[in-house]
Structure 1
Amino acid sequence: MVLDLVVIGLAIAVFPLSVTAFVLVLSARNGAWKGLAFILAWLACFVVVLVAVLITTGGKPPPPRSPPSTASSAVKLAIGVLLVGYAWYRHRTGPRHRHKSSGESSGGMMARLDRSSAWTAAGMGPLLQPWGLVAAGGATVVGADLSESSSYLVLIAYCVLATSSLLAMEIYMALAPDAARVRLGSLRTWLQTHQNRALVGVSLVAGVFLVGRSIYQLAS
Structure 2
Amino acid sequence: MALDLLLIGLAVTLFPLPVMAFALVLASPRGVRKGLVFILAWVGCLVLVITLVLLLTGGTPPAPRSPPSVAALWVSLVIGAGLVSYGVRRWRRVQRGVAGGERSEEAPASAHQGASLWSAAALAVLLQPWGMVGAAAATVVQADLSDTASVVALAAFCLVATSSLLTMELSMVFAPEPSGKALMGLHTWLRHHKEPAVIGLCLLLGLWLVSRSLYQLV
Q: How high is the TM-score relative to the length of structure 2?
A: 0.93
Other-structure match for 1:93: 93
Letter aligned with residue 133 of structure 1: M
Of 86-95 and 125-134, deviating more is 86-95
The answer to whether residue 63 in structure 2 is matched with residue 69 in structure 1 is: no
- RMSD (Å) for aligned C-alpha atoms: 1.8
Per the alignment, residue 120 of structure 1 pairs with 119
Is 2:149 the counterpart of 1:131? no
CA distance in structure 2 between the partners assigned to 1:15 and 1:187 by the alignment:
13
Change (3 A) 1:109 1:5: closer
- Residue 40 of structure 1 aligns with an amino acid whose one-letter code is L
What residue is the counterpart of 1:183 in the other structure? 182
Note the 1:136-155 alignment, pairs <5 A.
136-155=135-154
- Aligned equivalent of 2:56: 56
Confirm or deny: 8 A CA contact 2:75 2:138 kept in the other structure: yes
In 2, Cα distance between equivalents of 1:18 and 1:8: 15
Q: Give a deviation string over 1:173-201, Cα, whole Å, max 9, x none.
A: 11101011111111111111011111111
Q: Which runs of structure 2 are paired with 1:13-32 in the superposition (5 Å)?
A: 13-32=13-32
Q: CA deviation at 1:156?
A: 0.6
Code of the aligned partner of 1:3: L
Residues 28-66 of structure 1: per-residue CA shift (max 9 Å, x gap)? 111111110000001011111001000000000001111
Q: 1:195 to 1:52 in 2, by over 3 A?
A: same
Query: What does residue 171 of structure 1 align with?
Result: 170
Q: What does the per-residue CA deviation read over 1:68-99, in whole Å, with 9 as the maximum and x for residues that have no partner?
A: 1001110010011111111111111016449x
Whole-angstrom CA distance in 2 between matches of 1:40 and 1:168: 14
- SS of 1:123's equivalent in the other structure is helix
User: By how many angstroms is 1:109 displaced?
Assistant: 5.9
C-alpha separation in 2, matches of 1:218 and 1:81: 15
Provide the rounded CA distance (Å) in 2 between the counterparts of 1:20 and 1:108.
11
Contact map agreement 1:32 1:174 (CA 8 A) in 2: yes
Q: 1:9 to 1:35 in 2, by over 3 A?
A: same
Q: 1:176 to 1:58 in 2, by over 3 A?
A: same
Say if 1:29 and 1:113, in contact at 8 Å, map to a contact too: no
Percent of aligned pairs with the same residue?
A: 49
Q: How does 1:98-117 map to 2 (within 5 A)?
A: 110=110, 112-117=111-116
Alignment partner of 1:47 is 2:47:
yes
Contact in 1 for aligned 2:20/2:187 (Cα 8 Å): yes
Number of matched pairs:
212
Cα distance, 1:114 vs structure 2: 3.5
1:215 equivalent in structure 2: 214
- The gaps in structure 2 that reach 5 residues or longer are none
- Deviation per CA, 1:122-178: give whole Å up to 9, x if none: 111111100000000000000001111222111111100000000000001111010
Q: Which residue of 2 aligns with 1:35?
A: 35
SS in 1 for 2:120: helix
Match of 1:205 in 2: 204
Q: How far off its partner does 1:22 sit?
A: 1.1
What is the distance in 1 between the residues matched to 2:23 and 2:108? 16
The one-letter code sitting in structure 1 at the alignment partner of 2:140 is: V
Amino acid at match of 1:205: L
Matched to 2:13, the amino acid is: A
